[in-house]
Amino acid sequence: MIIPCIDLMDGKVVQLVQGREKALEGEAPLTMLSRFAKFPEIQVIDLNAAVGDGGNSQIVHMLAARARCRVGGGVRTAERALGLVEQGAHRVIVGTAAFTPALAEIAAAVGAERVIVALDSKDGKIVVKGWRQATDFTAEQVIGRLERHCGGFLCTYVDKEGMMQGTDLDWFRRLRAATRHELTAAGGISTLEEIRELHAMGVHAALGMAIYTGRLDLAQLAALG
C-alpha cells in the first residue's frame, strides 16, 4: 500500500527536511486530500503538536472526517488518542509516548489494532519529541516488546527524510525480519524501484517529498496500489 502524507504546520501543508527545515508548502489541506482521493489511506501529521508548539486540530478533524486517515503528532495521552478516533481518525500514530507507560493506556483506550507505533531512526538511534531528542536504543532492539500494544509500525529513516536521496532498504529488511506486524516505511523514498522492493518485503510506503516535488507521479503510484 502507498500512503500519501499530509504534514501540517501553522495551518499549512508543508514538507520538511529531517523534521527541521521547511523545504516547501503544498496546496490547501482539502485540495491535497482531493489529489490523494485514489489512495486507500492518508497519513496526517500535526507537526506543531509533535513539538508542543500549538496544533492544527480543526484541520486534522476536517481531514479525518472526509477520508480514511492515520493521524499522528503529539499523541501522548489516551485522552488525545481517543479524541482523534472520535473525530474520525482510523488509526493513531504514537511516537514519543510509545516509550512511556502511556502506550499501554492508549492501546487500552482505542484498541491496540488502531495504534501505530512510530519508530523514527537517526544516526542509528530512535529519536523522539519531534525528532529533537535521541534515545540510547535502536528500532531493532525495541520493536518486539512494543508489538502487544499496537497493530503496526511506522518506521522513518530520518537521516534521509525529505532529501530525495533514496532510503536504506537494508534497515527495512532488518525490521521486517524482526516483526510480523504491519510495517510502513518512510524517509527518503524517491523511486518506483524502492517502492517495489518495499512491497516485495511486505512493507507499505509513506510518501511525502517525492510526491510534492513531482518526482513520483500520482497516477503511476495509484496504479501500483
| Catalytic site positions | 7, 120
Name the burial class of residue 214, with classes exposed (0-12), middle (13-18) and buried (19+) by CB atoms within 10 angstroms of its CB.
exposed
As a whole number of angstroms, the distance between CA 205 and CA 207 comes to 6
CB contact burial 88-125 (16+ within 10 A = b; e otherwise)? bbebbbbbbbbbeebbebbbebbebebbbbbbbbbeee
As a whole number of angstroms, the distance between CA 68 and CA 186 comes to 19
